[in-house]
Structure 1
């Protein structure tokens, strides 16, 4: 049975469920940073998913990447699946701006914590829900 890793649960905010992945928002308002987590148990690498699930992961990553770039109008999109600290497979989608606090360095390990306010979370959730539902009928918001 799928269970979200405790670190991801502590560091992120639930946004909703796609066909394969749970969509979460990193709780750091300095950069728009989303995380996709395949809802499959004991998966640490993409190759461990079935071929159909690998295709679905790629499609969901592309969809969320495109929508977040449209919403947040970033200068660059960073996508990665590092997994050195959290072994559960998860895909980072980070919108970067040339004026963000750590540009051009990577956000991992370089950006300070700056949690969203309750109102910011509400606004980001609503914006993402609306955009995703316009493109994907099988989205279940949290």
Structure 2
């Protein structure tokens, strides 16, 4: 089996935050939305059901931790979760905090307008706060 390698599209669109027991946590580089992407560090995964049951449980625990970390940074009205994989086949789970009236509300964030990348200082600050929240 080949070693784990992050899909280049995910690598281009996100910034690394930290590694949890199962997943790498990535910040979508779009300041319009509080948006994390969790990627299990196992090669060849496409669907959640490709994970063994204990890893599926760990994935959902890490998704919950990511959601709590996002909420601690930026309160939101609704949590959107998605493991679409229609464009990027590598298994990854989006964890997105949504606010009524945000740039894509009430539609999905995927493909909505142009991403607004974080500035350097804002990016560093958000990642630092996320790391602290995820390490609890």
Give the TM-score range, shorter chain: over 0.9
- Check if 1:33 corresponds to 2:42: no
3-state DSSP of counterpart to 2:31: coil
5 Å-filtered alignment, 1:47-58, equals 47-58=49-60
So what's the TM-score if we normalise by structure 1?
Answer: 0.91
Q: Is there any run of 5+ residues in structure 1 with no aligned partner, and where?
A: 135-142
Residue 11 of structure 2: aligned partner:
9
**Between Structure 1 and Structure 2, how many residues are aligned?**
134
Residue 46 of structure 1: aligned partner:
48
Question: How far apart in 2 are the matches of 1:58 and 1:27?
Answer: 23
Per-residue CA distance 1:15-45 (angstroms, 9 max, x = gap): 0000000000011001111000000000000
5 Å-filtered alignment, 1:77-88, equals 77-88=79-90
Equivalent of residue 64 in structure 1, options 63, 66, 76? 66
Q: Is there any run of 5+ residues in structure 2 with no aligned partner, and where?
A: none
So what's the TM-score if we normalise by structure 2?
Answer: 0.95
3-state DSSP of counterpart to 1:14: strand
